Structure 1
């Protein structure tokens, strides 16, 4: 059992870097995969968001880095600019503790390509981090000599597949040495990813890190119905109650993100917006301001759910339930990190109970809440009427209509009236049944009489 990072036989520079960010004990994915990667094996690591997988591959990469070799040694491909920025920042933090400079380069869309090409003419980086499309472009135009790499990391492989970048990754991998060490990390391993894995990974170590709960136990999951409420006003009230440290509000579309941001700004709140409609340079600037705590509220699309790492998020608000429930997990995973407490608030509309039930099947336990007298208080369980509904389903349709009609009026004694109606209905059904039975008996008697007469005539 790996108790601390010192048990992993890492370079002193790396141990110093980890101490600088208060990393003492490896996470399960780090404890299992770092020794395997250090041994030179290819791996497929499947783990949830916030599991520490970035350092699970960065630490062995830096540990094996040849500081004297002025060539590309490791390629890290990631599907979003934000995730590339996060990995780049983590890599720079590790590199700062080495006495010898380590050249780390980041290549993503929206950056100054001409300047990067001039830099590549002077020297090649040792560690390359970038989005698949930009990496492929630099490789095909012979600006970036990726063929010298002996390690290739494909981070968030399922997201890479979903965003249509797998062909670019395949193209890059096809140009690399046969003895390549491939490190694939993914939250899920969809079927469509299997051919790529079989093509490039021979006898890999496959580690699926089990979790006792898909959501960190330090997160409180609150569920609030938007019935009879204006959603924008509800979110504003949630943001201005108490003293949230930093709140991420996730929306399902870019249009909704812009709409909610405009509303909150109109209410006087200083709000940052992160979505695909925001230019890359502007997003980068906003992210830096958020990390410097210049904003308390951030409205974002799912682009940010798996692409940014903002420390100290106290609250996450789901403006709506995402179509892909994996994104729900990634959204909520932005809070409650490193053992810190967090609150995730999910807003749902009438008719979305089935979607909530699907989330609960993932192991999420919701606490129903509502706003009353300017405070967030416990509410009733949305399933409280299931038993009553089941009873109604067994009633005659006419009685169900009577029940619904009486519920709307809510007059005294309606339960007694319904009880009598049920009794009368039962009596009526019994009389109908008796009449049908009598008719049936009479028909049988007639048929029997006719048969007897025919028999006597024949004789």
Structure 2
């Protein structure tokens, strides 16, 4: 309760309200909810409440698919642990850190709570330094991302080293088919809770759509960042190469820009994340590695330099802004070839506002679907009448307009007559068949 007070939490989120009582009872849980719904505290609070700090052994094991996510969970667990007496020991095991130092430390004392990436945790277990057979709970966070990044095998090996009588919690934004055999293998009668988001993204986010047709994309991103005056902006690209291109261009224009992607060394990534949190950078260019679950405070603008091919990533990217009830702006750059992807995003209930940069300002512009959205007559015209209508646009003789209107009216009347005749025939046929 002291930790919650320190965080300024007043009321539980929906996922916390539904699952904390279930987790307290020791049940296995599959929690499906979006990033930013309060999942981390959903498992940390009830599990840490059960930790016996007097016992010098591992009691909880938590895996996360990336170092950044593991670091985030570690930060939240450490914040809760500091209010415990005696002290609850929390350790973060991720790649890119001093392995020997961690092994030496484990030789002297085991942590109560183990948090980390699957590879490094398994490494510590295989070295026979980390003793996880005493754990009462195992948490797999962001399980779908764990599967996508190819770490499910390591998670499987970790689960195999844990005791049979174990509370297992799996949290995931989606439950892909390939994840189900793993869940079935380790979880008996789990409580499955799917927290459907009230809206796919926060209603405090404005979604702008900007066409890149005939424009220099890098220059357009630079203009958006300088015209829009963001407090902190993240530019997302689909590939590491594109991230490098955008970041290099922005740096050449004099903008202090950080970049985050998989090819950057873990140590460097950790340093950059820390600098971003300390607001030493106003602009960050990243791949989707930074889109899932990483909570960078104060992001006012998100720019999709490209439309992601997976809809989930659009939600995760845009969800970096507009957090905790704050306003946010998400700008998506699109090429005419992206129309299908944009239409799919709109089907999720996201409304785009078309914008363009004009005279150094961001202004409203035409809807890309304006042609297809024009009101059409319910009665379609035949080709000869279309020809008449086209002629109407040119210089016309007196009385020509009335002639067109009469022709259209006569055509529609004839169509209705044919339709009625067809309906009568169909009705007679149906009656005849029913009498046979």
TM-score (norm 2): 0.86
Find the counterpart in structure 2 of residue 161 from structure 1. 147
Residues 309 and 341 of structure 2 are in contact (CA less than 8 Å); yes or no, is this contact kept in structure 1? Answer: no
Shift in Å, 1:185:
0.2
Aligned residue among 116, 135, 141 for 1:149:
135
Aligned residue among 144, 153, 158 for 1:172:
158
251-260 vs 331-340, which moves further: 331-340
Answer with 1 or 2: which has the greater Rg: 1
Matched, 1:78 2:64: yes
Shift in Å, 1:154:
0.3
CA distance in 2, matches of 1:253, 1:337: 26
181-190 vs 100-109, which moves further: 100-109
Matched, 1:184 2:203: no
Aligned residue among 258, 277, 289 for 2:263:
277
CA distance in 1, matches of 2:381, 2:127: 71
Q: Which sections of structure 2, spanning at least 5 residues, go unmatched? A: 408-436
Shift in Å, 1:339:
1.2
Q: Deviations over 1:107-149 (max 9, x none)?
A: 1111111111111111111100111111112112211111111
Matched, 1:67 2:53: yes
After superposition, the Cα gap between the structure-2 partners of 1:212 and 1:395, relative to the gap in structure 1 and judged at 3 Å, is farther
After superposition, the Cα gap between the structure-2 partners of 1:374 and 1:416, relative to the gap in structure 1 and judged at 3 Å, is farther
Aligned residue among 331, 340, 345 for 1:359:
345
Residues 81 and 307 of structure 1 are in contact (CA less than 8 Å); yes or no, is this contact kept in structure 2? Answer: no
3-state SS in 1 of match to 2:289: coil
Shift in Å, 1:396:
6.2
Find the counterpart in structure 2 of residue 290 from structure 1. 276
363-372 vs 71-80, which moves further: 363-372
3-state SS in 2 of match to 1:352: helix
Residues 93 and 121 of structure 2 are in contact (CA less than 8 Å); yes or no, is this contact kept in structure 1? Answer: yes
Find the counterpart in structure 2 of residue 261 from structure 1. 247
After superposition, the Cα gap between the structure-2 partners of 1:374 and 1:291, relative to the gap in structure 1 and judged at 3 Å, is same
Q: Deviations over 1:352-386 (max 9, x none)?
A: 11100101111211111111121111122111101
Find the counterpart in structure 2 of residue 209 from structure 1. 195
After superposition, the Cα gap between the structure-2 partners of 1:194 and 1:390, relative to the gap in structure 1 and judged at 3 Å, is farther
**What is the CA RMSD across the aligned residues, in angstroms?**
2.6
Describe how 1:215-230 pairs up with structure 2 within 5 A: 215-230=201-216
CA distance in 1, matches of 2:360, 2:130: 58
Shift in Å, 1:173:
0.8
Q: Which sections of structure 1, spanning at least 5 residues, go unmatched? A: 1-14, 407-411, 427-459
CA distance in 1, matches of 2:286, 2:95: 19
Residues 54 and 86 of structure 2 are in contact (CA less than 8 Å); yes or no, is this contact kept in structure 1? Answer: no
Q: Deviations over 1:180-209 (max 9, x none)?
A: 100000000011111111111111111101
Residues 144 and 174 of structure 2 are in contact (CA less than 8 Å); yes or no, is this contact kept in structure 1? Answer: yes
After superposition, the Cα gap between the structure-2 partners of 1:138 and 1:416, relative to the gap in structure 1 and judged at 3 Å, is farther
Find the counterpart in structure 1 of residue 42 from structure 2. 56
208-217 vs 252-261, which moves further: 208-217
Aligned residue among 106, 128, 153 for 1:120:
106
3-state SS in 2 of match to 1:170: helix
Find the counterpart in structure 1 of residue 25 from structure 2. 39
Find the counterpart in structure 1 of residue 93 from structure 2. 107
3-state SS in 2 of match to 1:222: strand
Q: How many residues align?
A: 400
CA distance in 2, matches of 1:125, 1:234: 50
After superposition, the Cα gap between the structure-2 partners of 1:414 and 1:105, relative to the gap in structure 1 and judged at 3 Å, is farther
Aligned residue among 300, 304, 329 for 2:315:
329
Find the counterpart in structure 2 of residue 350 from structure 1. 336
After superposition, the Cα gap between the structure-2 partners of 1:368 and 1:415, relative to the gap in structure 1 and judged at 3 Å, is farther
CA distance in 2, matches of 1:364, 1:227: 22
Shift in Å, 1:389:
11
3-state SS in 1 of match to 2:102: helix
Find the counterpart in structure 1 of residue 179 from structure 2. 193
Shift in Å, 1:99:
3.4
Describe how 1:442-457 pairs up with structure 2 within 5 A: none
Find the counterpart in structure 2 of residue 384 from structure 1. 370
Shift in Å, 1:349:
0.5
Matched, 1:98 2:80: no
Find the counterpart in structure 2 of residue 434 from structure 1. none
Aligned residue among 282, 291, 308 for 1:305:
291
3-state SS in 1 of match to 2:52: coil
CA distance in 2, matches of 1:390, 1:227: 28
CA distance in 2, matches of 1:416, 1:250: 54
After superposition, the Cα gap between the structure-2 partners of 1:394 and 1:121, relative to the gap in structure 1 and judged at 3 Å, is farther
Shift in Å, 1:175:
1.8
